[in-house]
A = this chain, B = another copy of it.
Amino acid sequence: MRILITGGAGFIGSHLCDRLLADGHSVVVLDNLITSSINNVAHLTDSNMFRFINQNVADYIDLPEPVEAVMHFASPASPSQTAPNGYLQLPIQTLKAGALGTLNALGVAKRYDALFVLASTSEVYGDPLVHPQDEDYWGNVDPVGLRSVYDEAKRFAEALTMAYNRTHGVKTRIVRIFNTYGPRMALDDGRVVPNFICQALKGKPLTIYGDGLQTRSFCYIDDLTDGILRLMSSGITKPTNIGNPHEITILRFADTINGLADNTAGTILEDKRTEGDPQQRKPDISRAKKLLNWTPQVTLEEGLTRTISYFRSKLAYRD
């Protein structure tokens, strides 16, 4: 298959490229690199099965040849209030990637009768009032809150995807991606995994916002890409959660990273500072288990060890 991946130079997109190329597919990446890095796909640029187009998906998509699948993964995705690539710093670009970007990507899928895969997010559930979240939960999102630039953009993208499916018969998949981590996360991404690992590798105490008792669940990137590829091959049009339901408090997560990175500086607690940061979010993955026969395989220790190793090499290179 020839596959278009918007945002293919991003953290998740670039792992999809690796996996799809390894499986013998041809990949076209469309990315404007505002929150991603060409370094993530630099090892692929010599392949004649790989092509990179530097372009904003919200502007237009002009492909030289047909594709059989379109994976729309382009969007700022970090909720950090300070990171330069966070969606709070790129509010209008984020809204455009979700609306115009999805529209353009669906247009390509329609034109070539290609399969369309939307990268949606657990953030469509907002600050959820039920735990864990299954796909039939409608969410709790403030439409005019600061984070709505991402949450509402993704909800709109889901609505648009279903409209193309129902109206034009485009074959569509919607993956609701929960917290994912692994190599190629941006060091200055601002999310907890890069923050903690960078601090641990520099021998500093890990900064925890709030009391540290809020829980998170983290999915290793290889498990996510495996779930996405299973979803692609399935006939499931309904949204499907892909994430790791193993819950852990932020405090315990920090201790695990300190242990794996041999950091003895411990943790410090700071006031909670992110508006709308949910206290708890955990996927119900019954649908993926039942219909895709998918469950996460990589343990937190294993995934963190690989991720720490990647960050160590990156930090060494920067110093």
Q: Given the known inter-chain contacts A91-B166, A92-B167, A163-B95, please indicate yes or no for A139 contacting B149, CB distance below 8 A.
A: no
Interface string of A147-184 (1 = CB under 8 A from B): 01101110110111011101100000010000000000
By the criterion CB–CB under 8 Å, are A144 and B95 in contact? no
- Rounded to whole angstroms, the CA-CA distance of A166 and B88 in the bound complex is 11
By the criterion CB–CB under 8 Å, are B92 and A156 in contact? no
Q: How many copies does the complex hold?
A: 2
- Rounded to whole angstroms, the CA-CA distance of A166 and B238 in the bound complex is 34
By the criterion CB–CB under 8 Å, are B163 and A149 in contact? yes
Interface magnitude class on chain A: 35 or more
Task: Answer whether residue A82 sits at the interface, using C-beta atoms and an 8 A cutoff.
Answer: no
How far apart are A139's CB and chain B's nearest CB, in angstroms? 7
Task: Answer whether residue A140 sits at the interface, using C-beta atoms and an 8 A cutoff.
Answer: yes
Task: Answer whether residue A112 sits at the interface, using C-beta atoms and an 8 A cutoff.
Answer: no
- Rounded to whole angstroms, the CA-CA distance of A146 and B95 in the bound complex is 22
Q: Which residue of A146, A153, A156 has the most chain B CB atoms within 10 A of its CB atom? A: A156
Task: Answer whether residue A142 sits at the interface, using C-beta atoms and an 8 A cutoff.
Answer: yes
**Ranked 4 nearest A-B pairs via Cβ:** A148-B159, A152-B159, A99-B99, A156-B156
Q: List 24 A-B contacts (CB under 8 A).
A: A91-B166, A92-B160, A92-B164, A95-B156, A95-B159, A95-B163, A96-B103, A99-B99, A99-B100, A99-B103, A99-B156, A99-B160, A100-B100, A100-B103, A138-B143, A139-B141, A143-B155, A143-B158, A143-B239, A149-B163, A152-B152, A152-B155, A152-B159, A153-B159
Binding site for B on A (CB under 8 A): 91-92, 95-96, 98-100, 103, 124, 126, 138-144, 146, 148-149, 151-153, 155-156, 158-160, 162-164, 166-167, 174, 238-239
